[in-house]
Amino acid sequence: MKNLYNISKLIFILFISHSSNSQQDIISKLNEIAIVDQKVMVRMRDGIGLATDVYRPKSNIKVPIIFSRTPYNFNSWRDGKENEGTYKKAYEAVKRGYAYVVQNERGRYFSEGEWDILGTPLTDGYDAFTWMSSQDWSNGKIGTLGCSSTAEWQMAVAALDHPSHAAMVPQGYGAGVGRVGDYFEQGNWYRGGVEQLLFASWLYGVEHDKFKPRIPDGATQEDLIRISRFYDLAPENPPVNWAEAFKHLPLQDLLKNVNGKKEIFDKMIRRKPNDPDWYKGGLYHDDMDIGVPSFWFVSWYDIGTSPNIALFNHIRHNANDLDVRDNQYLVIAPTLHCGYTRASENTIVGERSVGDARLNYDEQIYNWFDLMLKGKDNDFKDKTPRVQYYTMGSNKWQSSETWPPENSEMTTFYLSSNGNANTLNGDGALTSLKRKIVNNKDSFTYDPMNPIKSNGGGVCCSGNAIQGGAFDQQEMELNENILVYSTDELKDGMEVSGFINSTLYLSSDVKDTDITIKLIDVYPDGTAYNLDETIQRVRYREGYEKEVFMEKGSVYKVNMTPMSTSNYFKKGHKIRIEVTSSNFPRFARNLNTGGNNYDEFKGVIANNEIHHSKHYPSSITLPIVKK
């Protein structure tokens, strides 16, 4: 074993001379304080080896471990910021007295076996914990850390309750949340029963071909380290214009049309929201207990903000261990997916400035790990609020013991008009007084072959098709097929922080369609910034276990999947919602036929009506914070 350490160290030192100056710096620093052991093949219970790099302090003291398991490439011979980040994380951990262990999921890069998104065995995480905790340099305590796909596996594995899994820090973790409460997102694949198309472009960029080069059986650690200098097994796919590629029909052939690796997408695009296969893989569902103290990180413009926060609440209220319930903390930042540390003195999210949104993330995370993994009697619990959330508009960090904040009050605003809510120049209104509802309905046309385009929002991984964040919606709101409802100018400022519920009453001349809603902050000059949005496939309005189609002439109640935000609407601003039937290509188009949708070429036009009356009180309910 000592010889292998020396080989790994020698090659690690040799690499410095081929690296950029910034990499040379961090590698030199790391080499001074760390024992580096790369390309260790950690064996799972079925014999599959997972490629693992270990960075640990040069001491005889047993140390806790910060563990990052990922589908992404951390090959340390690559030049560039991606792998410089790995070195920096390792250096920060080691200098604080931790071992830093990073491991590829099975089937990824130098790890053996076959990869399947959310389909790798949960036992892989459990077996990795067992291996790490049994090392003679380990104190037996492991904390997991990572964002997005490096976070998504943590919750389901935490439900296995390995005795060494002492704490976790999941960030932007929605792709690991299956079913929680009202949310059936199945790992962000769905929202309200509608496919989120980000996975097509994401899979195109990350999925390895089934005919990829493979390392021969019997390769030694020395072989793997040497080979990895020349062949990092990272595919480089031809660029795709996703703004055009997403338009392809049928949906099932989207990746085939760009010569992508379609096997996983082929399988998943056919799964309905309650397909049994969602419950066999690596997703966390709310019938699973979590016994791990957790420090959760969420952002306002992410793909799974609401279910992420709902999971935090679920664990706080339902974990079997009362001590685990009490050791749940949450941060909600005003950033894009995994953009926490990119907040600056003047944080711009999309087009909107939300002010100085910086936070001492590293300090808080390491104080958390010191408490949970080292047993340090520090001030984490005294200094760290249960929930830290950033309020846009007032542009400040706030804190609360609960989410929503204790002093929030659900207040309902009703949709109203004289039948012409189309466009921002129409007469659509939001009123807090039910008696002021005008008994009427608003009509619009939804043509799936000419859908309403996505404009900002909580998005990820969609190439050039969508830019995430807050953008002025005024130009879009001139479209006759968007219904616009606004309050009067606010006489006083109003903070909205929490979950946002909405109920719409719909009639249509097709069997099935989608309904979308968007919450907006309208400035006195007319600038209209989007805060959050959601969608509901109407066939699933009675639940995801069955499909119930519409009949012409009937009016149907549609409860939308809850949205979330924290925003201060200043005096003179307006609260606005938009209602239509598409938000493409963030969400797949409903072709309105009542068919499978994924295997269809042509759609039919839907003539949709939103009803508002005392009998059909279409509404949105906002959590208004009382000061």
**Residue with the two structure tokens 């799964």:** 271
Strands (E) across 425-527 are located at: 429-431, 440-446, 483-486, 494-508, 514-522
Residue 562, domain extent? 408-625
Both structure tokens of 239: 């660029």
Give the ranges where 207-262 is alpha helix by DSSP (H).
221-228, 242-245, 254-257
Confirm if 105 and 87 have CB atoms less than 8 A apart.
no
pLDDT at 259: 94
State the Cα–Cα distance between residues 188 and 296, nearest whole angstrom: 17
Helix (H, G, I), strand (E, B) or coil at 174: helix
CATH number of the domain within which 558 lies: 2.60.120.260
Residue 547, token pair as written in the block: 């499909």
Please check whether residue 324 lies inside any domain of the structure: no
Which spans in 327-466 are helix H?
361-373, 380-383
Q: Is residue 470 one of the residues assigned to a domain?
A: yes
Per-residue pLDDT at 131: 98
Last residue of one domain, picked from the residues 99, 133, 150:
150
Return the sign of the alpha-carbon dihedral for residues 294, 298, 304, 306: positive
Give whole-number Cα distances, 292 to 143, 155, 170, 305, 362, in Å: 10, 9, 12, 21, 20
Residue 230's pLDDT is what? 83
Given a cut of 50, the residues of the chain with pLDDT beneath it are 10-11, 13-14, 16-17, 80-82
Tokens 């049928």 label which residue?
250
Task: Return the CA Rg of the chain.
Answer: 25
pLDDT at 384: 98
Does residue 454 fall inside a structural domain? yes
Question: Per-residue DSSP letters for 330-390?
Answer: EEEEEEETT-GGG--TT-EEBTEE-------HHHHHHHHHHHHHS----SHHHHS-SEEEE
Taking CA atoms, 210 is separated from 7, 265, 304, in Å, by 32, 14, 30
Phi, psi values for residue 184, rounded to 5°: -120, 60
Q: How many CA atoms lie within 13 A of 29 on its CB side?
A: 15
The type of residue at 592 is N
- Other Cβ atoms within 10 Å of 384 Cβ, number: 16
Indicate the burial class of 555 (C-beta count within 10 angstroms; 0-12, 13-18, 19 or more): middle
At 165-186, the pLDDT tens digits run 999 999 999 999 999 998 999 9
Instruction: Assign residue 128 the CATH number of its domain.
Output: 3.40.50.1820
Per-residue pLDDT at 80: 46
Residue 80 has φ and ψ, to the nearest 5°, of: 135, 170
- Provide the phi-psi class of 314: left if phi over 0, else alpha when psi is between -120 and 50, else beta: alpha
Q: Which two tokens stand for residue 326?
A: 């009490």
d(CA 235, CA 166): 35
Distance CA 452, CA 444 (A): 12
Cα separation, 174 vs 170, in Å, equals 9
Domain final residue, candidates 150, 168, 197: 150
In a domain, 508, yes or no: yes
Domain count, the chain: 2
Tokens (6 digits) for 319: 């974990």
At 193, which amino acid appears? G
Paired residues of 191 in beta bridges = 194
Per-residue CA distances from 595 to 126, 253, 511, 555, 563 (Å): 41, 16, 9, 21, 28
Residues 176 and 183: beta-carbon distance below 8 Å: no
Q: Give Cα separations from 151 to 303, 582, 610 (angstroms).
A: 14, 30, 39
Domain end, chosen from 111, 134, 150, is at: 150
Asked if residue 257 is part of any domain, the answer here is: no
Whole-angstrom distance, CA of residue 623 vs CA of residue 402? 13
pLDDT value of residue 140 = 98
**CA-based nearest residue to 364, from 399, 329, 336:** 329
